[in-house]
Structures are given as C-alpha cells and as structure tokens.
Structure 1
C-alpha cells in the first residue's frame, strides 16, 4: 500500500488484482453512512487515485451488506445549524462530482444493499456501475426536505431519461438493481453472491487495457456530464438553500422515526 492512502479513516484499501485498487467505504453500525470524515475522504480519494501511477482501475464498494446508508444525520443537523459546516459540505458535494468525472482512471462500483447519499454519487458516476439484483438505490433528497441536487440532476436524466428521473427523484422511490439495469440507470446487475467477483472481473479487464485509450475515451464520454455543469451548479444551490427551510427538521424527524414525512401541501414551491 502506498503512503498516500495511510491517513484515511473511513475508506479502506486493498489490491485484489494487479494494478486494481479496491476502495471500501466503512462506517460500522451505520450502514456506511457518510459522516463528515467519510464525506471529505470521498472527495479527495479521486485526486489521489488519479495521481497514483500504480493504479490502472478502481473498485468502490461498501463494507458488509450495505453500499452506503446515506448522509449521517448528525452531519445533516449540523448543516442546518452552522453556516460554516453547510458551506464546507456544499463545496465538498460539488468537488466530489467533478473529481470523479475528471479522474483519469476507470472506476467500477459494486452496489449491494442500500445505496443512498454521497456513496450513491460514486456508485452512479462510476464508469461501470454494477449492482446486486436486490440492491436498493434511493435518492433521498426530497424526503429529507431539500431539492434533489448533488449528482442527481445531471446523471439520472442522462442515464434513464427525464420521465423516469422525475418519478424516482420526486417520490424517493427505491430502485432495485434489476430495475436500475432495465431502465439504464446502471451498467449491469448480478446475483448478490456474484457481485464482488463480477466487479473484480471488470476491473481486471480495465486494468489490462491501454491506459491512454481508456483515459481519453472516458474523458470524451464524460463531456456529456461536463456540459450539464450549469444545471448541476443550479441544482446544488437549490438543494443547499433548502437546508435553511422549514421542511428539513420534519424530514430529519421522519428519518429518525422511520415514518413518512408530513410536509405541508400548502407550502409554496
């Protein structure tokens, strides 16, 4: 393991194949939810990977039976109460998307169980996104009481079309891995017990390919995402404006109590 990865706390690393770095999100007991530490680490890992000459391909996965449990609720509460935290996380959310898009190394995601929040950004923006058939992909922004910003506004419509994107983003309906493959939201799905091996097989093939050819193919294809930059910046601003709105406290309470939120239907848009 190179020294560049030694100071990470929530991300764990191993080398399952030659020139393949596997990154595992780990937050024990919290379904790998992205707390302040993990959120920051998910931003900078892609710069470290990009600069590492030993890496030809990357796998991103979650520890245990979950990919990502969403944003840590303690962090979300702090964002509603502290402007410095809010602006820091806003910048991190933006950098996470752009660092992933601009990383020259191909990224493979292996999504099992719930895939929500900052982890889902990496899961869906991966160059090859793979999910178990019974995975549960959820964009939970509107249930929390904020606009579906982050990666969602640029990548969901591009991957599965505007009609499906609106349905899932407005209603926060879970998407199984099987349905996500059917609508084009992910690259492919597998049986749950085959997920990790399939991700590794794909990563091995990428690592054995021409680094230059893969890098510039990825760069060209991701221009579709770069062109959506103004949409992404606007959606992100709308999302984070919502953290000062009245619905977030109700959204936090509903998540803590595992009940549907009771937003006032008379609230203005």
Structure 2
C-alpha cells in the first residue's frame, strides 16, 4: 500500500515503512510527515504486525527537512508547526509504540532524518550510509530529540562536537562509536535487515514492549524508581503466555512459538 510519500508493506509479521521521496533524498515536507504519523498509527494497531522497519527508497535514508518547503512562503508551515506537528509526534510515536522498531539506514541520514533513526529501538546501516547533524551548517539547532538521544548513545563530548561541527560520520564510524547496532555490507543489507526484523517478530514481543517502557523511563528515573519499575514489569512479564511458552519450550528442548501476549 502507498500513501504517496510513505510506502507500506507487511510481510512475515513485519511492517516495512519506506520513506518515498527519493528525488529529494526522502526529505520531509508536511504531507510526508503527516503520512508517516498515519502509517505508524496503522502498523501500531495492526495485530498482524509484530515488528516495524523504517527505511528509505533510493540512495538516501532521509535528508531531514525539505528546505524548499521552508523557503517558499506559500508552502512554509513555520518552524513551530514543523516541530510540534511534524517531527515531535513522529518521535513520540516511535518511543510509544509497543513493538520493536528498526531503522534500516540505507544511505545518508541527515538532520531530522538522522535523529528519527536514532530514536528507533535498533539502528542498522548500509556500509555506504552516513549520519550528519547538519543543523549547524545552516544556523539551526538539533531537533527531533537529537539532543536527547545522541549524548546518551555516544557521550556528551562526542555528541557536542558532532552537533556543533556538523561532521559527516560514516556507518563504520557510527558503529565503532556505539551510535548504531550494526553496519552491514551493501550486498547483504536488505537480507540482513529482513533477518533481523523477522527475528524480532518471532520473539516474545510483549516482553520487548515492556523492555522498551523500561528503557524509556531509564532516561529520567533514579535507581530506586527504576528498580521498582523493573519489579512491576517483571511480574507482568512472568504472568504472560509468552513466558509460559518460553519456559515450556526450554524444558521440552524445542523452538518456542511466541504470540506476543
């Protein structure tokens, strides 16, 4: 199914969302940002979907904001609307959806495009991909939660330098500094992404959703609060059908069949 700027495909319990404005390196305009929110809502609510992949069509993952939109008076929504109605709701959905989300960065991820990727649960990249905090190059500050996630991924000093200097970081460098999970050879990229997504879809996704909640709260909880939340969610997880199936499969020495409940 296509929503013009976002293509959606569901296969093997995995929803693939393709950013689809390759002629402008998948940069976001208002239509694409709203379509992305709709697509995320649809796959979040679809019981057949147990994992989500966000990737790009063409040579780029996402070049961030379409500057033509903001420099054309009759098209420009204004930065407050762009942030509060476009990017912030996308980031909030990515973190709130109770399904694992993989960013499969197939090419350049710049500005908001880079930060949308880094907000996902697992980030993998094609070896030809690159990440750029491009904001400072045009006199802007990082948005789309970049200042929240990037320092936590790679440390304050490194994040500060990348955001101020706008350096281009190769996929290999991003992997080595802990920005992303894995970097795959170009020839194997699509196959490895599919294997990763199917692996996640076959896992006990209820437990993965609870893990995601814990990671979200770990950003703001103190130790005691986090320990208490771990206790509560572990009790919830241990009451699930997936837990019972996992234990039974272990005892019976067979592959578990998880249902996500």
Cα distance change on mapping 1:72 and 1:220 into 2, 3 Å: same
Does residue 125 (structure 1) correspond to residue 119 (structure 2)? The answer is: yes
Contact 2:83 2:144 in 1 (8 A): no
Aligned pair count?
220
Q: Is the 8 A contact 2:25 2:63 kept in 1?
A: yes
Aligned to 1:251: none
Runs of 4+ in 1 over 4 A off after TM superposition: 78-82
* Higher mean C-alpha deviation, range 217-226 or range 182-191: 217-226
Do residues 75 (structure 1) and 69 (structure 2) align?
yes
Tell me how far 1:78 sits from its aligned partner: 4.7
Mapped partners of 1:182, 1:10: distance in 2: 32
Name the structure, 1 or 2, with higher relative contact order (CA <8 Å, separation 6+). Answer: 1
Aligned residue for 2:27? 33
Q: Which moved more, 1:170-179 or 1:62-71?
A: 62-71
Residue from 42, 46, 52 that aligns with 1:48: 42
2:138 is aligned, of 144, 161, 186, to 144
CA distance in 1, matches of 2:73, 2:139: 13
- Helix, strand or coil for the counterpart of 1:61? strand
Q: What corresponds to 2:83 in structure 1?
A: 90
What SS does structure 1 have at the residue aligned with 2:52? strand
Query: Against the structure 1 CA distance between its residues 213 and 10, is the aligned structure 2 distance closer, same or farther, given a 3 Å change threshold?
Result: same
Aligned match of 1:199 in 193, 200, 204?
Answer: 193
- 1:12 aligns with one of 7, 30, 44: 7
Q: Is the 8 A contact 2:101 2:121 kept in 1?
A: yes
2:170 aligned with 1:176, yes or no? yes
For structure 1, the residue ranges without an aligned partner over 5 or more in a row are 228-269
User: What is the TM-score normalised by the length of structure 1?
Assistant: 0.76
- The equivalent of 1:167 in structure 2 is 161
> Deviation per CA, 1:169-219, whole angstroms, max 9, x where unpaired?
110001100000111111111111211111111110110011211111111
8 A contact 2:15–2:49 mirrored in 1? yes
Residues in 1 aligned to 2:104 and 2:129: alpha-carbon distance in whole angstroms: 10
Indicate the SS of the match to 1:68.
coil
- Alignment RMSD (CA, Å): 2.1
Structure 2 regions of 5+ residues with no counterpart?
222-261
CA distance in 1: counterparts of 2:5 and 2:102, whole angstroms = 19
Following the alignment from structure 1 to structure 2, what is the Cα–Cα distance between the partners of residues 119 and 73?
Answer: 13
1:225 to 1:42, Cα distance in 2 relative to 1, 3 A:
farther
- 3-state SS, counterpart of residue 24 of structure 2: coil
Q: 1:80 Cα deviation (Å)?
A: 11
- SS, match of residue 131 in structure 2: strand
